[in-house]
Amino acid sequence: MKKTSIIATAVASLALLPNVAHAWNYQGHVTVAQVAYQNLDTTARTQVDVLAAKAYQSMPKDIQQKMDSFEGASQFAKLAMVPDLIRKIPAEDIWAQMGETIPASLNQWDEKETGAWHYINQAYPATSQCNFTHTPNIKLVASYLFDDFEQNPQAASMMFMSHVAGDSHQPMHSISQSLSKNVCVTDLGANKHTLDVPQKDLHHLWDSGMGLLDTEHNINDFATDLQLAYPSTTMTLGKTADVDLWITESYQLADFGYSVAIDAKPSESYYSKGTELVKQRITQAGYRLADELNSALAKK
C-alpha cells in the first residue's frame, strides 16, 4: 500500500471528525500512553522506543505533523491517537505499511476497516433483550493483539494496543442503549443521545473528558499530575491484559453516564463527578498498558 493512499484516507478521516466517535479525544489517548510510558521499565522502554520510531517513520507527513503537535509527549505516546485517523484502511495494509505482517489471529478481518475494533456496545440496561454486540469488537481484538505481541512484538500491534487500552476505559465504548422501548434501535454508544452541550451528544461529552481534554496540555506534565492524584497503589489493576475486566468496569459506569436525559444540559454535579471518573479511567488505562508492555517485553 502506498503512502499516498494513507494520506488521502487520513485527510478524509480528519474532515469527518465531528461525526465520528473517538474514545477520549486525541489528547486523551496520548495521555493514556504517556502515563504508560512513564511506568515502563528500562528493558521495555528501550524496545518500545525502537518500535515507536519505526512506526513514526512509516507514517505520511500529514499524520507525522499531527503527532508532533502534542507538546511533551513521547513518540510512543503520540502513536496512540493514530488508529482514529486510519479507521478506513484495511488492517493488513497498516501492518504492511510498517514492513510487518498482521497477526494470524486477526487475519479473518485483515481486508476490513478497523473502525469496529474500538468498541463493543453491550446493551444497556442489563435487563435489555437487545443485542448490539458485534464481531469484531474491542474485547476480541485487544486480547488477540496482546497474545500475539507477547510472541512477536510489532510496531503496528503496539500502536493498536495503546489505542484500545484507552478505548476500553471509556464507558461509552462499552455500552449502547435502545432509542425505542418497543424495538431495538441502538444509540451507537450514546452518539445519538443528544445533549445541550458543545459536544452535541453524550458520547462526545465523555470523549472530551467533560471538556477537560478540549484544553491543550503539556502531555508529560499532565500525565505526571494524574499519577500524583491517582497513584497506582490506590487503584485496582487486576491481572495483565484483562480486557474483560476493563470493559466490565466501563459498563458499570452506565448508570451514571446515562443519568442525564436526552437533550438536557448536565448538572454541575454531573460534570464534577464525570471529570473525576475521566481522570481515574485515563490514569488506570495507562498503568494497565504499562503492565502489558512490561510483561510482554520482559524476556525479549
pLDDT at residue 24 in the model: 74
Average pLDDT over residues 50-66: 96
* Cα(89)–Cα(11) distance, integer angstroms: 12
More confident residue, 31 or 16: 31
Q: Does residue 6 have a pLDDT over 90?
A: no
pLDDT at residue 165 in the model: 97
Average pLDDT, the chain: 93
* Cα(29)–Cα(253) distance, integer angstroms: 19
Amino acid making up residue 225: D
Q: In DSSP terms, which residues pair with 175 in a beta bridge?
A: 122
pLDDT at residue 68 in the model: 96
Q: Does residue 155 have a pLDDT over 70?
A: yes
pTM of the model: 0.93
Q: Does residue 300 have a pLDDT over 70?
A: no
SS3 at position 177: strand
Within the chain, residue ranges assigned H as helices are: 3-15, 26-38, 42-58, 61-67, 75-79, 91-97, 138-151, 155-167, 202-207, 219-229, 243-251, 254-257, 268-297
pLDDT at residue 12 in the model: 52
Average pLDDT over residues 122-142: 95
∠ CA 6-24-177 to the nearest 5 degrees? Answer: 105
Handedness of CA 155, 48, 83, 55 (dihedral sign): negative
Burial of 216 by CB count in 10 Å (0-12 exposed, 13-18 middle, 19+ buried)? exposed
* Structure confidence by residue, pLDDT tens digits, 203-232: 999 999 999 999 999 999 999 999 999 999
Average pLDDT over residues 93-117: 95
pLDDT at residue 18 in the model: 42
